[in-house]
Amino acid sequence: MLFNRDLSWLGFNFRVLQEAADENVPLYERIKFLSIFSSNLDEFFRVRYPSVFAFSKLKPKTQVKASVGFNDDIPEKMQNEINRQLNIFGSILVEKIIPGLKAHGINFYYKSQIREEHLSQIRDLFLSNVLSFIQPLLLEGNFEQRFIPENNRLYFVVTLKSSDQVTIRNAVINIPSNKLPRFFVLTPLDNEEYVIFIDDIIRENMICLFPGSEILGVYSIKFNRDAELNLDEEYSDDLLNKIEKQLKKREFGPPSRFLFEDGMPRNVQLFLASVFDLQFEEMFAGGRYHNLSDLSSFPSFDKNLKYPKRRALNPVEGMHRGDIFNVLNKQDILLHLPYHSYNPVLSFFNQAAIDVDVTEIFITLYRVAADSHIVNALIGAAKNGKKITVFIELKARFDEANNIRWSREMKEAGIKMIYSLPHIKVHSKIALVKKGSGKESLNYAILSTGNFNEVTAQFYTDHLLMTTDLSIIEELAMLFKFLQTEYKENAKPKLKFEKLLVSQFNMTEKFERLVETEIKKALLGEEALVRIKINNLEEPGMINLLYRASQAGVKINLCVRGICCLVPGVEGLSENITIKRLVDQYLEHSRLFIFGKDDTAEVIMGSADWMTRNLYHRIEVCVSIKNVSLKKELIDYFQIQWSDTTKSVELSAALEAKPPEQTENAVNAQQSIYAYLNTHQ
């Protein structure tokens, strides 16, 4: 029994939308949640929507459909849910956010009449700032060879009547929000601020673009295009060049959603469907403004309408002396981001780059910051004569271009680069530093649930372990050696990992054994407990194992942020399984697995979700935590999140979100974790 993954994901995105509606959330943070919702939905249409409709074309009796929770009515349910959420989105923006801004002296021109005092300023902005970036094109003649709308770019379709009052023509105009700000701040009036879309600056001056013609209609449009890269996995050519070529194609790939302004006449819709070769299921009526992910850049007027900044905690005593390796020689370090400062991680790589005793650095990179301090440290280390080996995943979706740019810079600096493996992604977040040589050698390792990215570390929750544990380091060295060899899917070396759980080698088997141990406890009448915190739960084998554990009497607490295909609370199948979803200020990103209870519990952290792709088509790394105090920290961390009564919801058998029972003393997990870590540093 499986719940459909795409409907489940839409449930997660609705939970994001609920934060935008929550009046207890600061106003600008609510605007941010609207932006995240919109961005998520765009990605859904680029990544999932094309495959959903391709899947729906399979024969009705295909067993594969039932095995992944897919019924023939799923596309219709999906569309109805998307429409429902978009209507709620519009209501929140128009009825809650815009009046909220007005109450703080910020007027947002949103489908509203522009004050006469601003018209001349808008004309000046159009002529001096905007016009040079606009390219009007008539949709006629040999059009298809001249112009194809790019993915996620904004356009107007304009219907014109020529000066002869007979000829009707359609033109397309780009809205240059990729070159200019989406929002412009206008001159304050009556001590109040005013903000306008670049879209409306163009609308107000449309006549300047078509002098002599009568404008019959102006309609905003945009395309989402299929984002999947169609790469030949038997890489015979240079992978960088191949992916770069595919990236250029992707912006003009097959359309997955054509979004047009509601109210566009049917004849114009049909004309555009013909011009752009669109199918009915690819066309969606929308609002006046598209790409509302741009709300993330809505102008701030220092109105104190955001979350107050928390001081990042420093868990590492002695770090002020700047010697991270000295600290690690005495103790392991466990960071809980973003509550803890990311400085120990930056210090780790910066110090390794200049330490004369450091000889080698190994690291896997999946998503790195655009101006990465870590990569710059690696480049500096290479220039200092150290041997640097970097595995960079060029197939990290939507980060391919950034990764390619950095890979070129690192290669030019003399870093040994390893680029992607055929048939598989390397998603692990691991690093290894070798210091000294021979008997005096010391090695240091990092294993993380999140990317080596100092930007996302400010708002993603992750756990990061820094250690000198010899057995962990030996196994990491073995894995890095493997990553440098030619990967053959049907002839993997038989590497043996004990401390590490590595997908492709021992990860699923280890998780299965741990669940089986709890099943045996339950059958003997002992208390059995499984606690898991992940982003996504989709892999059928692991779900069925949890069902079997529930049937045996194992109590299972799952904190699943996003996709969840397991159906909880079904009598005789999953009545011992409880699932919660937590959405708050920070993005819940860590993966944590706890089997058993108290001091005997097995505690594991790492990069892997329980999805088919993670367990079978990626290199993921998890690590078992043996340090007693660090184990307790992670167990306490989970329990604090599980106790949340303000931002978590419990999923029902229909995967509907039920708010937690309200208690006299409300618990906000993210605030409580910060307080807990503050007292334990």
Catalytic amino acids? 427
> What are residue 269's phi and psi, to 5 degrees?
-60, -45
**Amino acid (one-letter) located at 472:** I
567 near 655, Cβ under 8 Å? Answer: yes
Give the chain's end-to-end CA distance (angstroms, integer).
44
| Nearest to 36, CA basis, from 22, 51, 15, 8 | 15
Say how far apart CA 30 and CA 583 lie, in whole Å.
13
**Contact (Cβ atoms closer than 8 angstroms) between residue 10 and residue 85:** yes
Give the number of other CB atoms < 10 A from CB of residue 85: 18
User: In what helix (H) or strand (E) does residue 424 lie, and over which residues does it extend?
Assistant: none
Yes or no: say if 410 and 375 are a contact pair by the CB < 8 Å rule.
Answer: yes
- Alpha carbon 636 to chain centroid, angstroms: 26
**What pairing do the DSSP bridges indicate for beta strands 106-109 and 192-197?**
parallel
User: Which helix (H) or strand (E) covers residue 216, if one does?
Assistant: strand 214-225
Give the whole-angstrom CA distance, residue 645 versus residue 667.
5
Rounded distance, CA 373 to CA 455, Å?
10
Helix (H) or strand (E) holding 5: helix 5-21
The full DSSP string for 646-670 is SSEEEE-TT--EEPPPP-SS---HH
Helices (H), 92-193: 98-103, 116-125
Alpha-carbon distance of 541 to 512, in angstroms, equals 10
- DSSP 3-state percent helix, strand, coil across the chain (nearest 5): 40, 25, 35
Report helix, strand or coil for 188.
Answer: strand
Q: Would you give the DSSP letter of residue 340? A: B
What is the sign, positive or negative, of the torsion defined by CA atoms of 207, 212, 217, 223?
A: negative
Helix ranges restricted to H, 126-238: 198-204
CB atoms within 10 A of CB 35: 20
The tokens for 270 are 């049909």
Three-class DSSP labels, 580-611 = EEECCCCEECCEEEEECCHHHCEEEEECCCEC
DSSP state of 292: G
